[in-house]
């Protein structure tokens, strides 16, 4: 029985040592990658792209959520036309056999 206790103690010690080793390795890897990235960011900075301001009032209304009535009418007409072209007469649904 003493031998089994020693094996469990040895197994738990190895498991703990392995977990500590993996945690330390991953921590050092993260620190190394962040250091390299910080040095590269100084040498190769990201370019800042200026954003375009919308001078057209219609585009600003669409961006703020206001849609012109002409667009709503066009979409409604397209949906109605599509439904008329693709509508099929309702077929009788077959009843499930028991």
Give domain status of residue 18, yes or no.
yes
| Domains: count for the chain | 1
What Cα–Cα distance (Å) separates residue 54 from each residue in 37, 59, 60, 63?
35, 7, 7, 10
In tens, the pLDDT along 26-62 reads 999 999 999 999 999 888 888 887 777 655 555 555 5
Give domain status of residue 76, yes or no.
yes
Reference 58, options 69, 49, 50, 67; nearest CA is: 67
- For residue 88, the model assigns a pLDDT of 65
- For residue 11, the model assigns a pLDDT of 97
Q: How far apart are CA 10 and CA 4, in angstroms?
A: 10
Give domain status of residue 26, yes or no.
yes
Give domain status of residue 98, yes or no.
no
In tens, the pLDDT along 62-91 reads 556 788 899 999 999 999 999 999 986 655
Q: How far apart are CA 1 and CA 4, in angstroms?
A: 5
Here the tokens at position 85 are 């072209």
Q: Which residue range is the domain that position 20 belongs to?
A: 2-45+57-83
Give domain status of residue 88, yes or no.
no
Give domain status of residue 19, yes or no.
yes
Give domain status of residue 92, yes or no.
no
- Does this model's pTM top 0.85? no
In tens, the pLDDT along 7-29 reads 999 999 999 999 999 999 999 99
């Amino acid at each position: 029985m003493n031998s089994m206790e020693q094996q469990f103690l040895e197994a738990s010690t190895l498991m703990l040592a392995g977990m500590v080793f993996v945690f330390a390795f991953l921590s050092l890897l993260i620190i190394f990658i962040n250091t390299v990235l910080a040095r590269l960011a100084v040498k190769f900075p990201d370019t800042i792209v200026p954003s375009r301001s919308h001078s057209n009032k219609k585009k600003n209304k669409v961006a703020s959520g206001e849609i012109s009535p002409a667009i709503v009418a066009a979409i409604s007409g397209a949906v109605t036309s599509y439904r008329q072209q693709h509508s099929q007469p309702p077929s009788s649904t077959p009843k499930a056999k028991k």
